[in-house]
């Protein structure tokens, strides 16, 4: 029971970290701070525009795989893997 | 028959033959196979199938066209329709897979130990899914009207018939294999023209890089800068900065993201993987396959806009003679989706931001992707391929949605609540009848869709965002959340959203029934009906937690159930009682 509690809080911590990044790259860089970021160029892209139309999507993919990997480790650590 | 028509028939006929063959080959036997394909699908396969299921006419046919005209503002679709997978992979899919039921309302019914909660979820699901199908019908209608050179309405009727035959033929098993085939067809059809056009314009074959490159004409000017210059000269807003407004951008993106995580036909996919680990992985693979299209789409949109502007006005002041308009222009005029009116009588085409002098009186956004390869003078076989891809996208999603609706009615409502002793055979029959009714209803509403395909689909996301997503989240993350709170939350969330959408767009989108015009001064905090799902979701959360404060928390056995599905290990006894 204790173990399940710890497993869950470690999971929640991971989710929190991921969602902060998720928020920053999309709502942050892509919407709220798009104007200052647009002052910076990435080739032909304005940086804020790039985040909104490219960068956020790449980050989402990386986040999901990173979370999946971390959770597999966590499942092993607490010995709660399913069959 | 000219060459293009011949190729189109071969591409569309050949791919359709393949889908029907696969659906027939793997046709469903028992009900458990019909809904969830028996659980034996790998994360990679499932990811691809989710990709096909997910990327509908809205993504394939409509989205890049909207981006072409919205510019930066179109980013809401790009972020919104991908970001939801992060929520799915972390907050919903693993736990719902662990719980192990066939449908979303079934999960809600179990978690909130309430038949009423299950029925309310079914109703929310049906409203969202039917709206979604209207968007698909618009896309199917556009594709068929162009391909068969008929009016949009006729294209829609033909599309309804094809969707009907297709969806009633196979269940999810058929659909899983066909959807893998459909994914391959649609991604090929989307990227090949994009690669050609990117090469033509910038010399870089990778569209994601081409969009950030300089033009191949030797001027050394960046493509995006050139587009900004061309559109602003004609009075349009600057492409790379034309925002919908901060509040609207924020609310719209959020609504699409949480709608993604609340749409039953996508969540259902995670019930078909063998383990919790596979559920997390499937979400990742799904997003990889989706991102392949979504990172190309902004290039398709920007380049289509550039080519369109350049065709009509190759150099400032040198407008195209209407009599010399290219073949694609004439073809789309036949569908009624592109219209020209020579307002100043000079025989030339003026395309400007000013409504009094603009002569391109109708440019339906939904034609851009399909017209794009012809505008860029690509070979005929590429144009044919795009037609096949667009139909694959629309068909696969329509079929997945129809399955979600029919299983909600026949499995959750009829077998689960009204007639528990219904035989498997009559359950299958009921689900097919429901599919038929849904197609007819959505087709009828598709004659006067509430917006472009992607906009209509966005409304569906708002409805899912405001009803299903919040209760799933609360059901998993708050052990104490009880049935009264969940039911009140769902009703309040979808109620507020529907009220707002219908007052601007008409009751159930029937023209002439809106009581406030769909225009900006009537919007609440500048939030459009398409983006209102995020407000609805907020209402849902607030109402639910308020009711929870006033009522008793969920009983102990339900709290134990939640503890149980939070960890991958161990069985849930009730999970396999079907």
Please indicate if any CB of chain B lies within 8 Å of the CB of A66.
no
- What is the pLDDT, as a whole number, of residue B522? 59
The predicted complex's ipTM stands at 0.95
DSSP, collapsed to helix, strand or coil, labels residue B55 as coil
Alpha carbon separation from B477 to B117, B282, B327, B569 (Å, rounded):
18, 22, 57, 18
Sequence-ordered strand ranges (E) for B107-163? none
Contact: A61, B287; criterion CB under 8 Å = yes
Cα–Cα distance measured from residue B200 to residue B179, given in angstroms and rounded to the nearest whole number: 32
**Best interface-test mutation with B: which of A44, A70, A76 has the largest number of B CBs within 10 A?**
A44
Contact: A64, B240; criterion CB under 8 Å = no
For the record, the structure tokens of B326 come out as: 């290219």
- What is the pLDDT, as a whole number, of residue B525? 63
When CB atoms are compared, the residue of B79, B283, B569 closest to A52 is: B79
Give the DSSP H/E element, type plus range, for residue B339. Answer: strand B338-339
Cα torsion for B321, B327, B331, B333, to the nearest 10°?
0
Query: Which chain A residues are closer than 8 Å to B279 by Cβ?
Result: none
- What is the pLDDT, as a whole number, of residue B571? 63
Contact: B72, A34; criterion CB under 8 Å = yes
- Please choose, from the candidates B63, B74, B363, the residue with its C-alpha nearest in 3D space to the C-alpha of residue B240: B74
Contact: A50, B208; criterion CB under 8 Å = no
Alpha carbon separation from B532 to B10, B214, B260, B546 (Å, rounded):
43, 39, 14, 21
pLDDT tens-digit series, residues A71-80 = 989 888 888 8
Cα–Cα distance measured from residue B154 to residue B470, given in angstroms and rounded to the nearest whole number: 40
Please indicate if any CB of chain B lies within 8 Å of the CB of A64.
yes
- What is the pLDDT, as a whole number, of residue B400? 75
Fold of B3-305+379-465: Sodium/glucose cotransporter (1.20.1730)
Contact: B98, A82; criterion CB under 8 Å = yes
For the record, the structure tokens of B120 come out as: 């309310």
Query: Which chain A residues are closer than 8 Å to B214 by Cβ?
Result: 44
Query: Which chain A residues are closer than 8 Å to B201 by Cβ?
Result: none
CA terminus-to-terminus distance, chain B: 54
Please indicate if any CB of chain B lies within 8 Å of the CB of A17.
no
Kindly give the confidence (pLDDT) of every residue in chain B, 578 residues in length, as a single tens digit, with 9 standing for 90 and above. Answer: 578 788 888 988 898 888 878 777 766 555 555 444 445 667 788 888 888 888 887 888 888 888 988 989 999 999 999 999 999 999 998 888 888 777 888 889 889 998 899 889 988 888 888 888 888 888 888 888 877 778 888 888 888 888 877 776 654 445 677 778 888 988 999 999 999 999 988 888 999 998 888 888 878 888 888 888 888 888 888 888 887 888 889 889 999 999 988 887 788 778 777 788 888 888 999 999 999 999 999 999 999 888 888 888 887 778 888 888 888 888 888 878 888 888 888 888 888 888 788 888 888 888 888 888 888 888 888 888 888 888 888 877 777 788 778 877 877 777 777 777 777 777 778 878 888 888 888 888 877 766 677 777 888 899 999 999 999 999 999 888 998 999 999 999 999 888 887 776 665 555 555 555 555 555 666 677 788 888 999 999 999 999 999 998 888 888 888 888 888 877 654 433 33
When CB atoms are compared, the residue of B223, B243, B254 closest to A44 is: B223
């Amino acid at each position: 029971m204790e173990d399940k509690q710890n497993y869950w809080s470690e999971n929640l911590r991971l989710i929190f970290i991921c969602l902060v990044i998720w928020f920053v790259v999309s709502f942050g860089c892509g919407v709220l701070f798009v104007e200052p970021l647009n002052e910076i160029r990435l080739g032909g892209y304005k940086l804020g525009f790039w985040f909104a139309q490219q960068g956020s999507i790449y980050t989402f993919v990386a986040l999901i795989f990173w979370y999946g990997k971390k959770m597999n480790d966590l499942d092993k650590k607490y010995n709660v893997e399913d069959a | 028959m000219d060459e293009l028509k011949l190729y189109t028939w071969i591409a569309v006929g050949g791919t359709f033959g393949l889908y029907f063959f696969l659906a027939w080959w793997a046709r469903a036997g028992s009900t458990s196979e019909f809904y969830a394909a028996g659980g034996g699908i790998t994360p990679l396969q499932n990811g691809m199938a989710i990709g096909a299921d997910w990327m509908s006419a809205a993504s394939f046919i409509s989205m890049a066209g909207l981006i072409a005209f919205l510019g930066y503002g179109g980013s809401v679709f790009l972020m919104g329709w991908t970001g939801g997978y992060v929520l799915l992979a972390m907050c919903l899919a693993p736990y719902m897979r662990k719980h192990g039921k066939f449908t979303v309302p079934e999960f809600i019914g179990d978690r909130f130990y309430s038949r009423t909660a299950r029925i309310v979820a079914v109703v929310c699901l049906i409203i969202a899914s039917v709206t979604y199908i209207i968007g698909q019908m618009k896309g199917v209608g556009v594709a068929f009207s162009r391909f068969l050179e008929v009016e949009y309405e006729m294209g829609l009727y033909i599309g309804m018939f094809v969707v009907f035959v297709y969806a009633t033929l196979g269940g999810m098993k058929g659909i899983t294999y066909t959807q893998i085939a459909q994914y391959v067809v649609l991604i090929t059809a989307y990227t090949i023209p994009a690669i050609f056009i990117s090469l033509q314009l910038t010399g870089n074959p990778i569209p994601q890089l081409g969009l950030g490159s300089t033009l191949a004409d030797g001027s050394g000017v960046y493509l995006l800068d050139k587009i900004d210059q061309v559109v602003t000269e004609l009075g349009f807003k600057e492409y790379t900065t034309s925002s919908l407004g901060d509040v609207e951008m924020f609310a719209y993106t959020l609504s699409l993201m949480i709608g993604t995580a609340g749409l039953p036909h996508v969540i259902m996919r995670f019930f078909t993987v063998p383990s919790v680990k596979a559920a997390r992985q499937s979400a990742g693979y799904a997003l990889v396959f989706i991102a392949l299209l979504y990172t190309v789409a902004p290039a398709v949109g920007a380049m289509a806009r550039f080519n369109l502007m350049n065709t009509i006005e190759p150099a400032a002041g040198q407008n195209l003679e209407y009599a010399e308009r290219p073949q694609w222009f004439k073809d789309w005029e036949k569908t009624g989706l592109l219209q020209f009116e020579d307002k100043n009588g000079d025989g030339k085409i003026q395309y400007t931001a000013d409504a009094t002098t603009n002569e391109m009186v109708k440019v339906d956004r939904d034609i851009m992707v399909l017209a794009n390869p012809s505008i860029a003078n690509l070979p005929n076989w590429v144009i044919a391929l795009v037609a096949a891809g667009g139909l694959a996208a629309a068909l696969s999603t329509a079929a997945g949605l129809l399955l979600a609706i029919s299983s909600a009615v026949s499995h959750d409502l009829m077998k689960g609540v009204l007639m528990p002793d219904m035989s498997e055979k009559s359950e299958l029959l009921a689900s097919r009848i429901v599919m038929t009714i849904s197609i007819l209803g959505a087709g009828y509403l598709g004659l006067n869709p509430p917006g472009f395909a992607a906009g209509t689909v966005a409304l569906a996301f708002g409805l899912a965002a405001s009803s299903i997503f919040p209760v799933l989240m609360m059901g998993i993350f708050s052990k104490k959340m009880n049935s009264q709170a969940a039911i009140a939350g769902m009703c309040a969330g979808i109620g507020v959203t529907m009220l707002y959408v219908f007052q601007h767009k008409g009751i159930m989108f029937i023209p002439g029934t809106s009581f406030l015009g769909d225009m900006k001064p009537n919007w609440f905090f500048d939030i459009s009906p398409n983006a209102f799902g995020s407000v609805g979701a907020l209402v849902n959360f607030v109402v639910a937690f308020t009711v929870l404060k006033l009522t008793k928390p969920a009983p102990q056995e339900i709290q134990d159930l939640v503890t149980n599905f939070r960890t991958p290990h161990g069985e849930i006894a009730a999970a396999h009682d079907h």
